[in-house]
Amino acid sequence: MRSSLIMSFAGFAAVFALALAGCKYSTLAGQLPGPSPAPTLGPGIVSEEKIPTSAATPLGIATGPDGNLWFAEFDGNKIGKVVPGTFPAGGSIVECGPLPTTNSAPVDVVNDPSTANKVWFDEFGNDKIANVDTSTCAYSEFTIPTPGAQPEGLTVDQSGVLWFAEAASGLGQVAKMTIGGAVTEYTTGLSGSNPISVAIASDNSVWYVDGGRNSIGHLTFPGGLKTVVDYGLPTNPADPFEITLGPDGALWFTELGINTVGCQIGRITTGGSPSITEYTLPLLQPSPDGDLCLDLTSAGGNIWFAEADTGAIGRVTTGGVVTEYGIPGSGTTAVYVTAGPDSNLWFTDGAFDGTVQGVGTNQIGRVKIGMIPALSTARTFKAKMSTHRLPLLNAKGEVIRRVNGRPINP
């Protein structure tokens, strides 16, 4: 699912046309349907600045080692930076030159503390993991062994190792790469598996979104043996998309909810018996007026998420209170979000979906979350909470499947 959606950034989103049609927060389209209109963030809370390259389609954004915000231009085929100290004045956004390969389609950006002057990113379009020098804008690229892997969901663990999903349909692989470019690929071994985004828990173990199985996966290596466990989501299909570590030590993830209940925010606890909670948005948008909750991040002790196509951002407290806010401005939206070095929330604002007109302004935005009221009168939604028992594994780390209660692949 994520792989197909990423491809839609380049104009292949026809399959989502019905799911994405309908009213949006954009002032061009009127108010979003729902039990109550979302409050629009007040004056001075949101600022934006144009990206010099037109139709850049900015996606992933992260704070770099130099204290600037770095972002990927999916269609612009560049990596750019935002200088927060001068933002939003002209010149506060600076772009590096085009990537060495055309149509590289960079998506995710991360900071690896073990490389002090580098920002890392994945190249969905040409099967590479790359970095950019924050001082010189020089690029370095590393090729993934599997052709057509479509890497995305890039993150970094506590040891400075890069992890990413290989999102091409049918691969079912999660991979790691050292900063020197050595890549190791791990197959989940599960039927229909399609990892699409990766996060690292506080114990340094690897968690990933599996769009093919509608689940959250956990990859560990006890005694050096690869072990994969899989936790199915209560909502089926939920279309899980992005995952991140929350301030409470749990893993939080977005659910697109295409053609089902609409997007939701999910949470899975860690430990021996994880539980999954799904939070329904107050302004629920089932198909065909469906929203897309793409990216999320931890900032200011809460989880913040981007409601692409609707021009809104949302906040979930660790206690489960969900609030949505409209972003002021005609056509303004949030696609990817990150916590900035200034304790604010930063977002990319791009027209990634060709089926929705008038949304996305090719800008980088900042939200001063400290100016948003801490308390909310929004309802708390804690829908469909279920606990999943750890599956049995054989000596190869494969899940032991059962038929009528009997193991069939011991």
Q: What is the pLDDT of residues 31-76, one digit of tens each?
A: 443 333 567 888 999 999 999 999 999 999 999 999 999 999 999 9
3-state percent helix, strand, coil for the chain, nearest multiple of 5 = 5, 40, 55
User: What DSSP designation does 359 have?
Assistant: -
- C-beta separation of 233 from 209 below 8 A: no
Cα 298 from Cα 305, distance rounded (Å) = 9
Residue 222 has pLDDT above 90, yes or no: yes
- C-beta separation of 355 from 363 below 8 A: no
Confidence of residue 406 (pLDDT cuts 50, 70, 90): very low
Around Cβ 62, how many Cβ atoms within 10 Å? 23
The length of the chain, given as a count of residues: 410
- C-beta separation of 166 from 153 below 8 A: no
Tell me the two tokens of residue 122. 């994945």
Q: What pLDDT score was predicted for residue 38?
A: 66
One-letter amino acid for residue 340 of the chain:
G
Per-residue pLDDT tens over the stretch 115-141: 999 999 999 999 999 999 999 999 999
Residue 326 pairs in a beta bridge with 40, 312
Q: Which CATH number fits domain 2-407: 2.40.50.140, 2.130.10.10, 3.40.50.300, 1.10.600.10?
A: 2.130.10.10
Cα 274 to Cα 109, 194, 218, 230, 231: the distances in Å are 29, 21, 11, 11, 8
The pTM of this model reads 0.87
Beta strands in 233-291 (DSSP E): 240-245, 251-255, 264-268, 275-280
> Cβ contacts of residue 85 below 8 Å, gap of 6+?
none
Q: Which residue has the higher pLDDT, 353 or 302?
A: 302
